[in-house]
Chains A and B, each alone.
Chain A
Amino acid sequence: MIELKQIRKAFDGREVLKGIDAVFEDGKTNLIIGQSGSGKTVLIKNVVGLYVPTSGQVLYDGRDINAMTKKEKALIHREMGMIFQSAALFDSMSVLENVMFPLDMFSDMNTADRIKRAKYCLSRVNLAGAEDKFPGEISGGMQKRAAIARAIALNPKYLFCDEPNSGLDPKTSIVIDQLIHSITKEYNMTTVVNTHDMNSVMGIGEKIIYLANGVKEWEGTKDQIMSSTNESLNSFIFASDLFRKVKEANH
Chain B
Amino acid sequence: MYISDSIATFGRYLQLMWRVLALPERWRMFGREYVKEMASLGVDSLGIVVLISFFIGAVICIQIKLNIASPWMPGWTTGYTTREIMLLEFSSSIMCLILAGKVGSNIASEIGTMKVTQQIDALEIMGVNSASFVILPKIAALITMIPFLVIFSALMGFIGAYATSLVGVINVDDVTAGLQHDFNQWYVWMSLIKSLFFAFIISSVSAFYGYTVEGGSFDVGKASTDAVVSSSILILFSDIFLTSMLS
Chain B neighbourhood of A106, CB < 8 A? 126-127
- Whole-angstrom distance from the CB of A244 to the nearest CB of chain B? 35
Mask: chain B, 116-130; 1 = CB below 8 Å from A; 0 = not = 011101101111100
With a cutoff of 8 Å between Cβ atoms, the chain B residues found around residue A160 in the complex are: 125
- Chain A's closest residue to B133 (CB) is A105
Contact of A105 among B114, B124, B126 (CB under 8 A): B126
**A249 part of interface (Cβ distance < 8 Å):** no
| A112 on the B face (CB < 8 A) | no
**B122/A105 in contact, CB under 8 A:** no
A105, B29: Cβ atoms under 8 Å? yes
Complex Cα distance, B124 from A90, in Å, reads: 13
Chain B interface category by residue count: 10 to 19
Q: Chain B at the A interface: mostly helix, strand, loop or mixed? A: helix
In contact, B29 and A48 (Cβ under 8 angstroms): no
Contact B122 A104 (CB under 8 A): no
**Per-position binary interface string of chain B over residues 87-127, scored 1 when its CB falls under 8 Å from any chain A CB and 0 otherwise:** 00000000000000000000000000110011101101111
Q: Among A75, A89, A104, which residue has its beta carbon within 8 angstroms of that of B29?
A: A104
Contact mask for chain A residues 63-90; partner B; CB cutoff 8 A; 1 contact, 0 none? 0000000000111111011101110111
Closest residue of B by beta carbon distance from A111: B28
Q: Report the separation of the CA atoms of residues A205 and B52 in the bound assembly, to the nearest whole angstrom.
A: 62
Contact B127–A74 (Cβ < 8 Å): yes
Chain B positions within 8 Å of A113 at CB level: none
* Chain B residues positioned under 8 Å from A75 (CB to CB): 127
Residues of A within 8 A of B25 (CB): 105
Asked whether A91 is an interface residue with its Cβ less than 8 Å from the other chain, the reply is yes
| A102 CB-CB contact with B under 8 Å | yes
* Closest chain B residue, CB of each to CB of A84: B118
With CB as the reference atom, state the residue of chain A lying closest to B126. A102
Interface pair A104/B28, CB less than 8 Å apart = yes
CB contact between A77 and one of B114, B118, B126 (< 8 Å): that residue: B126
Contact of B122 with A82 in the complex, beta carbons under 8 Å: yes
What are the 4 tightest A-B residue pairs by CB atom distance, in nearest-first order? A77-B127, A74-B127, A88-B118, A88-B122
Sampled A-B contacts (17; CB under 8 Å): A48-B125, A74-B127, A76-B127, A77-B127, A81-B125, A82-B122, A85-B118, A88-B121, A88-B122, A89-B119, A90-B119, A91-B113, A104-B26, A104-B28, A105-B29, A105-B126, A106-B127
Residues of B in contact with A (beta carbons under 8 Å apart): 25-26, 28-29, 36, 113-114, 117-119, 121-122, 124-128
